[in-house]
Chains A and B, each alone.
Chain A
Amino acid sequence: MSDIPAELKYTRSHEWVRDNGDGTVTVGITQHAQELLGDLVFVEPPEVGSSYAAAEACAVVESVKAASDVYTPVAGEIIEGNNALADAPEQVNQDAYGEGWLFKLKLANADDLGNLMDADSYTAQVEAEA
C-alpha cells in the first residue's frame, strides 16, 4: 500500500489537499497517482490568478505513459504554482507530498474542505481499485 498521510484530505481523482490554516490549501497528486503514471516528464501548473470551480481541470501532468489532467479539489483562486517542476518534474515522483506539490489555492468557501475524503476513505478507494 502506498503512503497516504493521515493529516491530508483527498479526492476521488487522486489529488491530495493540505489545509494551510489561513484560508489557503496546497494541492498535489498522491503517491498512488504518481505510481500509476510512472516517471513524469512534464508538469504544467495552473496560471496564478485564475479561478476555478471544484473538480475543474486546471493542470496537466505528463508521464512516459500518459498525459493526465489534474482537477481542483475545491473552488478557489490559484495563488501560486510550483514553477520548480518545469525543470524537475521528477520531484513529483520522488516527493509527492512535499517538493512535488503542484499549486496553492485560496478557498472560495472554507466549508468546502468538508466535502473531501479523509485518509481512511481514500485508502479504501485505492484498495478497491487494486
Chain B
Amino acid sequence: MSEKKQGMLIFEHSRTGRRAYAQAPLQVAATDGLPERFRRARRADLPELSELQVVRHYTRLSQKNFSIDTNFYPLGSCTMKYNPRACNSLAMLPGFLDRHPYAPDRFSQGFLGCMFELQEMLKEVTGMQAVSLTPMAGAQGEFAGVAMIRAHHVAQGDDARTEILVPDAAHGTNPATAIMCGYKVREIPTDKNGDVDMPALRAAVGPQTAGLMLTNPSTLGVFERKIKEIAAIVHDAGGLLYYDGANLNAILGKVRPGDMGFDVIHMNLHKTFSTPHGGGGPGSGAIGVGKRLQPYMPIPVVARQDDGYAWLSEKDLPQTIGRLSAFAGNAGVLLRAYIYMRMLGRDGMHRVADFSTLNANYVMKRLAEQGFDLAFPERRATHEFIVTLKRQAKQLDVTAMDFAKRLLDYDYHAPTTYFPLLVPECLLIEPTESEPKEELDGFIDAMLAILRESETDAAKVKGAPYTQPNRRFDEVKAARELDVKFATNA
C-alpha cells in the first residue's frame, strides 16, 4: 500500500455526496419541536464515504496496532497480559448489555450477584474487610483511599495530621493523590538495595503523619522486605497505611496486604484481572478497606440482604466519602474482571503470581548472563525488573530510548523507558504470566542482537525503527509544537 494511503485521515477520503446507503438511518428524527436557535444552519462536517472505504480505513488502522493480540508487550508497570476472549463474550451477554443503570435492583439480580461475588473474591485475595468497586480507574481508587484516610482523622477530631509519606520508589500518581486530598507530601528515600530507607522513615513520622502510601512490590521491581516494620512505625505514630495495588500481579494468592497490616488498598482490575487497557480507559480502581476505614467507603456497594442483592447508599453508610461517578464504576470492566477470576479460581490466582515472577526472573537472569547490567543485581525480580543501559550510553552512545525503538523492528513492544526515575537509562521489563518460553527467548535474543548492533553499528540502532508505519519521531518538536487539528473546510 502506498505510504500516502497509510497515513490518510478518514476526512481525506471523503467525497461530497458519497453514501453508505445500507447503513443510513431508516427514519430521520423530527426536529419540529426544537427551537430555531438550537438547530444547525448547515450540515455537520462529517466524512462522506462508501461502506467499503470505511471498512478499509479502519481495518488499515487496526493493522497499525502494536498490541498484546499481535506482539509480546513487556511494558513494565502496566501488566499487559492476555485478555481472555471468554471474558469479553460473557460480559457482552444481552442481559448485561441491555441493563439500564436506573433499573430497580430486583431486575438486576444477576448483575448485582456478580458484583457481590467480585467484592467477596477481592476481599479474600487481599485480606481486607470490605471492598467498593465504584472507583472508575486507578487514580480515582487512590483518591478514594486517601480521602478515606482523611475522613478517618477528621472523624477522630485529629486535624494536626497534615502529611502523607511517599517513598520515592512509589508510583508517580501517589504524591499527586496526596496533594489532591489536601496533604503535604514528604518523600522517603530508598536505600541502595531498593528498600525503603528505615532510619529516614523513623525520622519522618510524627503527630503530623496522616499516612504512608506504599507501592509493593515497588516500581524498582523488588519486594519491600521490611513491610511489618514499616507498618509498625507508621501505625505507632498514629498514621494509616495505604497500599498501592498496581503491582498486585506478583503477590496474587501468595500474601495479602490485609495481613501485612494495611488499612486501605486500591487494585487496578484492568491490570491484575486482565481487562483490556492501554488505550486510556476505561479502567477500574476498586478499593479494599480494613475495619477502621470501612464506614467511609465510597458508594454504592453491593450487599446481600434477605430478599436478594441491593445497592447500599448514604442511608446505609452515612459516613461515606460519597459517590465517585454517576452510577457504580465501569460495569463492563468489572464483569470482565469477575469472569476472569471465576475462570482462574483459587489455584489459578497462585499460578498468576508463580508464572509472572518466574517469567520475569528467567528473562532477568538470562539478560544478566548475556552482559546486561541489572539495577539491583543482588535482588530477586518481582513480576518485573530493571535493566540499566548507563554503561552502553556512556561507552557506545546508545540509550534506553534507542534500544526501545530498535526492539520494534524485532517485533517486540518496547519495555517502559526512563521510569522509574531513580535508575538512569533504564528499561522496566514485565513479561507477565501469559507468555510461553519461546516468546521470552525470542525477546532475549532480540535484546542481545541489539547489543551486538550497538557495538558494531550504533548508527543503525539510533535510527530505528525502520519497519513500522512511522519512523522515529522528533519528541521535542512533538511536545513543543503540538498540532493535532485537521481542518475540514480550511
Contact = CB atoms under 8 A, between A and B. Distances in A.
B418 A39 contact: no
Contact of A39 (B417, B424, B476): B476
B418 A65 contact: yes
Interface string B456-490: 00000000000000000001100110000000000
A64 B480 CA distance: 10
Contact of B424 (A36, A41, A64, A89): A36
Contacts of B417: 65
Contacts of A68: 421
B421 A64 contact: no
A121 B344 CA distance: 56
B: interface residue count bin: under 10
B418 A66 contact: yes
A58 to B, nearest CB: 14
A41 B476 contact: yes
Contacts of A39: 475-476
Contacts of B418: 65-66
Contacts of B475: 39, 64
Most buried by A among B418, B419, B475, B480: B480
A36 B421 CA distance: 10
Interface in A33-52: 36, 39, 41-42
B209 to A, nearest CB: 19
Contacts of B476: 39, 41, 64, 90
Interface string A70-99: 000000000000000000011000000000
Interface string B72-94: 00000000000000000000000
A41 B479 contact: yes
B480 A41 contact: yes
A65 B420 CA distance: 11
A66 B479 CA distance: 12
Interface in B394-427: 417-419, 421, 424
A89 to B, nearest CB: 8
A65 B417 CA distance: 8
Nearest to B482: A41
A46 B419 CA distance: 26
Interface string B415-448: 0011101001000000000000000000000000
Contacts of B480: 41, 89
Nearest to B475: A64
A128 to B, nearest CB: 12
Interface of B: 417-419, 421, 424, 475-476, 479-480
14 contacts: A36-B424, A39-B475, A39-B476, A41-B476, A41-B479, A42-B479, A64-B475, A64-B476, A64-B479, A65-B417, A65-B418, A66-B418, A66-B419, A66-B421
Given A41-B479, A41-B480, A66-B419, 14 more contacts: A36-B424, A39-B475, A39-B476, A41-B476, A42-B479, A64-B475, A64-B476, A64-B479, A65-B417, A66-B418, A66-B421, A68-B421, A89-B480, A90-B476
Leading 4 A-B pairs by shortest Cβ distance: A41-B479, A65-B418, A39-B476, A64-B475
